[in-house]
Homo-oligomer: A and B are copies of this chain.
Amino acid sequence: MAHSTLFNSFFPLTQPWLRSFSLDNGFSLKMGFSLKTSWSRSFSLKTMLKGESFTWDQVLGIAIAEDEAQQLSGLNGYLDKVRICNRRYEARSMFMPFILEDEIVGYVHPGFVEHLRKFPNVFTLTKDRGYGDHGADFLTLHPSLVSPTDRTEAVGDAITCLDEGIIPGIRNELYPVTSSYGKPVFFSLERAAAPYFGIKAYGVHMNGYVNKNGEKHLWIGKRSNSKPTYPGMLDHLVAGGLPYGISCKENILKECKEEAGIPITISDTVVPAGAVSYMEIDGLRYKRDVLFCFDLQLPDGFIPANEDGEVESFKLFPVPQVANIIRRTEFFKPNCSLVIIDFLFRHGYISPDEQGYLQLLQGLRSGDCS
């Protein structure tokens, strides 16, 4: 029990110590910290996923707590977040390639392939032609499906006919299926099905910051408790998946308006700043995500206002406090941590003289970033 929680009742401690705890899927990590505070609620991704919530006051308590161990623990708190986003990566050999026109576009688990066998006019299993591990089969589409439109329709119909619960949370939003970003789109696939087919999914993520007396502050959002994924957890200001047929720039402007009420006069100054990537295996799902990162400097007086009901509220924190929340907790939706760590790198909040700098920098693109 003591090992399953991030914070427990041993506070206050004046010496750094290492605590290990487990996530739901058995992934375990270590975290070093020391907080001089009497606040002692227990939180972890495990409790979050079970619906236990936290308040802004609790976030603030952790953000501002002194940290004597900071120098000792170094970048470990950040590295843990990279590991969480890439959990069960070692299970990738279980998956077989999903191939179209000689390009690997995804990876599928044999357990999921079993469900696809019911649609022999849509999906074809073929013997290995040198892809993947020795002797593995690979999945492709039936040769009669040639045009993107035909493929989109046939696969879409099959997904609709799958037994309920096999692919939960259908969104009726299409993602492009391609080998790399900007390459030809072979067909379009329901967003919720993307990780079951192991296709790469792209998103746009934006940090919104304010310069107050020379000190940068980040706007942090708290997700609505009614969100189906990661309810009540923390987000950076704006994020969204990249559906088929919309550019990164158009999408980020749209999300700026919907998620944070940022008018085009401000959002139009958004700065593209790179990308992060990760790959995570969770049961039959193989997530291969690439997130395009954006920065937007907001006027000091601007207050974000959510328009689509997906964010409960926003708060502004000095960047070092956001860094503390990232390092010390799992309050952030996991992939948002990567985007904020990328911000910390680019804006000088992480020093190359800290142990593990290059390892962490590389870790931000652990997935196939193409």
Chain A residues packing against B (C-beta within 8 Å): 180-182, 247-249, 270-275, 290, 292, 295, 345-348, 350-353, 355-359, 361-362, 365, 369-370
Contact = CB atoms under 8 A, between A and B. Distances in A.
Given A182-B356, A358-B180, A369-B361, A249 B351 contact: yes
Given A292-B352, A352-B248, A370 B365 contact: no
Given A362-B365, A362-B369, A362-B370, A182 B275 contact: no
> Per DSSP, are chain A's interface residues mostly helix, strand or loop, or mixed?
mixed
Nearest to A242: B352
B361 A271 contact: no
Contacts of A356: 182
User: Oligomeric state, in number of copies?
Assistant: 2
A345 B365 CA distance: 15
Contacts of A295: 348
Contacts of A353: 247-249
A357 B181 contact: yes
A182 to B, nearest CB: 5
A181 B358 contact: yes
Contacts of A348: 270-273, 295
B358 A275 contact: yes
21 contacts: A180-B359, A181-B357, A182-B357, A248-B351, A248-B352, A249-B353, A271-B347, A271-B348, A272-B345, A272-B348, A273-B346, A274-B345, A275-B357, A275-B361, A292-B352, A295-B348, A346-B346, A358-B370, A359-B370, A362-B365, A362-B369
Contacts of A361: 274-275, 369
Residue in A181, A182, A352 with the greatest tally of chain B CB atoms within 10 Å = A352
A19 to B, nearest CB: 24
A347 to B, nearest CB: 7
Contact of A358 (B271, B273, B290, B350): B290
A166 B99 CA distance: 50
B249 A345 contact: no
Contacts of A362: 365, 369-370
Given A181-B357, A249-B351, A290-B358, 18 more contacts: A181-B358, A182-B356, A182-B357, A182-B358, A249-B352, A270-B348, A271-B348, A272-B348, A272-B350, A272-B352, A274-B361, A275-B352, A275-B358, A295-B348, A358-B369, A359-B370, A361-B369, A362-B369
Contacts of A292: 352
A369 B295 CA distance: 25
A295 to B, nearest CB: 8
A341 to B, nearest CB: 11
Contacts of A365: 362, 365
A366 to B, nearest CB: 12
A59 B247 CA distance: 34
A51 B308 CA distance: 63
Contacts of A249: 351-353
Contacts of A182: 355-358
Residue in A270, A353, A365 with the greatest tally of chain B CB atoms within 10 Å = A353
A282 to B, nearest CB: 24
Nearest to A273: B346
Contacts of A275: 352, 357-358, 361
A249 B347 CA distance: 15
Contacts of A351: 248-249, 272
A357 B355 CA distance: 30
